[in-house]
Structure 1
Amino acid sequence: MSFLRPRFKGERALIAGIAIDATGSGMYVPFNLIFFSHVTDLPLAQIGLVLTVTSLIALAALPLGGAAVDRFGALKVLIVLYLVRALGFALYPLAHSLPAFAVLALVTAAGTRAAPSTLQARFAELLSGTDRDRMQALSRSLGNAGLGGGTLIASLIIATAGDHGYVIAAWLNAGSFVVAALLATRTPASPHADRNRPSRKGGYRLVAKDPSFLLLALSNLSLAIGYTSLTILLPVFAIKWLHVPQGLIGSAFIVNTALCATLGVPVAALARRRFRTRIGMAQAGAGLFVLAFVGQIVLGTVRPENNALAMTVLLTCVVVATFGELVHSPAASTLAQAAAPAALRGRYLAAYQSSWALANALAPSVFTALVSQDGRLPWLVIAVTAVLGAFMLRLAERRLPADAVYFEPPAAKAEPAEAEAATG
């Protein structure tokens, strides 16, 4: 299969690291508070407070990480972030005091915040054109498969080892980061041409003065809030508004994870053939989000008493939203990579990643406030923000370079025809 054929030496090592990283994360992400409660023996309320505070403080790691990428290259920064998180999870079982846990939580949260934009910069260093789109889809697919596999492994360990299974999972996660770091060393060094050229002065001020990139980031913020609906809004909506039994809600996460893991690459490849531009592909994904969210509004209006019918409609909406994710995500992420100037790529992608961080920070309070008024209201809000996000993409299209907007820039297509005419 052509979409799995490596484009550079070390690509298999890079994607294996992504999969292993995701598998390790899958061992604790679904359990989160319970995981840290068993690993550290601290009270649940203290753990929740520390994780919230450190997560907010760790937002500062995004601009710092972006500047480090521009200074040292994405490879070195990525390896350091892997090792920082490995150290954090290796030491968590020893953090029985609140200060020790807070320090480790802050360090690992900072590494986790900075990692996605660093990985995006790494893709941009190693790939160009539609190969970036392919890698976006492949990494997302592997990430979802890894999360699902890690959750299954952790569940089996906890089932057989009891409470000690959480400590084992912590150390296995630490080991996964070490392996990912070792695999990263088998990939090409960051291009010296990007790092050693005279740096453009201004740093983040230049990002703030770039209207086209700011539109991309604002568009992503508008749509990223919708991405969080599966984990934050949907369970509350289904249980509190539709009165669906709690035990059935897990099926929505299983469907989403399975579809992302198995169909991410082929759906993205099909969409690239269907659309001429990344803007068009991203807008199509936004349109699917709107359709899914309107479907939830209709479901919340009818509120069928039959649980089987309610779950059928709800899962159908989840499937539609998942396809929206599979179409929008790779196109939007590659747009950001291609629009970022090479000399400031780290800073640009860190700024873009902040839209995800802000959406994740805002979503819990926004959704809980709205759903307490009316279960349909949050779906209406994120449907509107998805429409706004698609509109901002259209506005950005006029300002972005052709090689960012088009999968194959018109100039590249015209060159062979011009050469043939000249020889004729």
Structure 2
Amino acid sequence: MAPSESAAETPTQVLPRGPGVLRFAVAGFCNALSTGFFYPFSLLFYVSLSGEELRTVGTVLTVTALAALPSLLLVGRIVDRVGPRPVLVASLVVRAGCFVSFVTFGGAAALAVGTLALAVSTRAEQTATPLVALQLAPEGQSSRWLALSRVVFNAGMGVGALIAGIFIVDSASGFALLGIANAVGILCTAALYAVVPRTPRPAHSAARLRIKARPWRDHKFLLIAVVNALLLVSALAVESGMPVYVLQELAMPTWTVGMLFAVNTGVLTALQLPVSRVLDRHPPVRVLAFGGLTYLSLYAALLAAARTDGTVRMLLLVLGMVVYTLGELAVTQAALVLLTGLPPDSRKGAYLGFNQIFVGASTAVAPLLVTYSLAGNPPVLWWSLAGVSVVSTAVLLGTERRFGRGASEGVAGDTP
């Protein structure tokens, strides 16, 4: 919003407004709950039900994730032609069917087919979801709806992981129950999204729809997509690498990892909406740049922790995690605003589908970076990620003047 808007807002004013906001929030929470329920046990789930070895499962997951990426350009064009909600509902139904197939069929071939379909449907869902939020959001409310999607995602993931840790039994029958429960939760999500209020689709002429979307020629969007992918690699590396570093290199107790991630989830869930209101008053490119720069706090804390011990070490890690999480909040919010605001209205689906190629590549690169670094020289991981943050910030601030304020509300013209 404009800087002249009063900074003093009640909790009710911070919440997004508009028809269907509650149903949209419940659908997003239900989806994240299912994902959080499954995510901590995903590798064990695939190994147990496919009957394959861990290395085979890991190879299949990597190959199918990469194989799904070229299809995302087509997915984006479909979103532009039929609208984001039908694609979102269809992708959820396909995702639910994948989990039923995992429970029903074993073997490497069935695993490969199922994980390929799962990868495509997951990326399609991530392409369509923010566009559904933009369609539902009243004028001036876009960033609040995008922030709401992040709040319910973080809350649902945390609650789902907690429930799974209590109820899931490490056995074939337990993992079968996990798959069926996840499928049911995803179908419930599809039903909830299907009944959110319908919004009129923008009228695009047939001539306009025949124009081929070429987001890779839009230099501003391409820059944001690349920077977002680099910062996503950093976030994924922290998620998977920090527990190993804290337990093995720093020799800290197991509960330390849980506490640090609890701090991360708590800050994201509690502050996403109010902080997003503050961030709206600043150019999103600058917010993205400085958000990425704050990642340095956690890297510095992890490096410094190796030279301290006791209470000082714990305080360093907690403080580093708090500042890092505020930066993560800024990065996710600003990136969503830019990635949905820069594309022309008639080609948002194609642009976001193209962005999912970078997202998918990040998820494939991060595990390799983490495993090779931690197996060799662990501090190199944090120095490498620090370099990513510094370079990303410098590039963004150096090109900031190329970006207008128009993207800050998720609205763009109809030309690149």
Tell me the TM-score normalised to structure 1 length: 0.86
3-state SS of paired residue (1:203): coil
Root-mean-square deviation (CA), in Å?
2.5
**Cα distance, 1:128–1:211 mapped onto 2, change above 3 Å:** farther
Question: Structure 2 CA distance, aligned partners of 1:394 and 1:405?
Answer: 16
The gaps in structure 2 that reach 5 residues or longer are 1-11
**2:283 and 2:405 in contact (8 A); partners too:** no
1:175 to 173, 184, 202: 184
Q: Percent of counterpart pairs with the same letter?
A: 27
Determine which of 259, 271, 274 is the counterpart of 1:266: 274
Q: Does 1:243 align with 2:230?
A: no
Equivalent residue, structure 2, for 1:214? 222
SS in 2 for 1:398: helix
**Residue pairs, 1:315-326, within 5 angstroms:** 315-326=318-329
Give 1:422's aligned residue. Answer: none
Quote how far apart the aligned CAs of 1:79 are.
0.7
Residue equivalent to 2:303: 297
| 1:360-418 Cα shifts (integer Å, max 9, x gaps) | 21112123333344322221221221122223333443333431147999xxxxxxxxx
- CA deviation string 1:82-132 (max 9, x = no partner): 100011112221112322222112111211122212112222333366422
- Note if contact 2:338-2:410 (Cα within 8 Å) is conserved in structure 1: no
Name the SS of the counterpart of 1:59 in structure 2: coil
Is 65-74 or 97-106 further displaced after alignment?
97-106
1:113 aligned onto 2:127: no
1:345–1:194: structure 2 CA closer, same or farther, 3 Å change rule? farther
SS of equivalent to 2:122 = helix
What is the Cα deviation at residue 208 of structure 1?
1.6
Q: Which residue of 2 aligns with 1:328?
A: 331
The residue type paired with residue 202 of structure 2 is: A
Q: Determine the C-alpha separation between the residues in 1 that align with 2:411 and 2:184.
A: 41
- Verify: 1:4 aligned to 2:2, yes or no: no
Where does structure 1 lack aligned partners over 5 or more consecutive residues? 410-424
| 1:347-362 correspondence to structure 2 within 5 Å | 347-362=350-365
CA contact (8 A) 1:154 1:165 kept: no
> What secondary structure is seen at the aligned counterpart in 1 of 2:37?
coil
The yes-or-no answer on 1:29 pairing with 2:39 is yes
Distance 1:95 1:407 in 2: 43
TM-score for both structures, normalised by structure 2 = 0.88
Whole-angstrom CA distance in 2 between matches of 1:322 and 1:27 = 22
Q: Match for 1:404 among 402, 407, 413?
A: 407
SS of the aligned residue for 1:70 comes to helix
What CA distance in whole angstroms lies between the structure 2 residues aligned with 1:270 and 1:43? 49
Which whole-Å CA distance do the structure 2 matches of 1:405 and 1:13 have between them?
A: 25
Q: In structure 2, do the counterparts of structure 1 residues 192 and 130 end up closer, same or farther at CA, with 3 Å as the change threshold?
A: closer
Supply the AA of the counterpart residue of 1:101: L
What displacement does 1:46 show? Answer: 2.8
Report the secondary structure of 1:96's partner residue.
coil
Task: Decide whether the 8 Å contact of 2:87 with 2:124 is kept in 1.
Answer: no
Counterpart in the other structure of 1:288: 294
AA aligned to 1:257 is T
Report the CA distance between 1:287 and its aligned residue.
2.6
CA distance 1:211–1:178, shift in 2 (3 Å): same
Alpha-carbon separation, structure 2, partners of 1:307 and 1:235: 18
Following the alignment from structure 1 to structure 2, what is the Cα–Cα distance between the partners of residues 74 and 396? 31
Flag the 1:169–1:308 CA change in 2: closer, same or farther, 3 A: farther
Cα offset, 1:346, TM superposition: 0.7
- 1:155 and 2:165 aligned: yes
How far apart, CA to CA, are the structure 1 residues paired with 2:295 and 2:304? 14
CA distance in structure 2 between the partners assigned to 1:245 and 1:44 by the alignment: 27
Q: Secondary structure at the match of 2:195?
A: coil
Partner of 1:231: 239
Q: For the Cα contact (< 8 Å) 2:30–2:189, is it kept in 1?
A: yes
Q: Which amino acid aligns with 1:310?
A: R
Deviation at 1:308, TM superposition (A): 4.7
Q: Could you tell me whether the CA contact under 8 Å between 1:124 and 1:338 is conserved in 2?
A: no
Partner Cα distance (1:61, 1:10) in 2: 31
Which is further off, 102-111 or 75-84?
A: 102-111
**What amino acid is the match of 1:288?**
T
Task: Decide whether the 8 Å contact of 1:339 with 1:401 is kept in 2.
Answer: no
Per the alignment, do residues 130 and 378 of structure 1 end up closer, same or farther by CA in structure 2, a change over 3 Å counting?
Answer: farther
- Does structure 2 conserve the Cα–Cα contact (< 8 Å) formed by 1:36 and 1:47? yes
- Local SS of the residue matching 2:282: coil
> Match of 1:414?
none
Q: CA deviation at 1:345?
A: 0.6
Q: How do 1:368-387 residues align onto structure 2 when only pairs under 5 Å count? A: 368-387=371-390
> How many pairs are equivalent?
401
- 2:8 maps to none
- 2:74 matched to 1:64? yes
Matched-pair contact (CA < 8 Å) for 2:231–2:292: yes
How far apart are 1:62 and its partner, in Å?
2.2
Match in the other structure for 2:369: 366
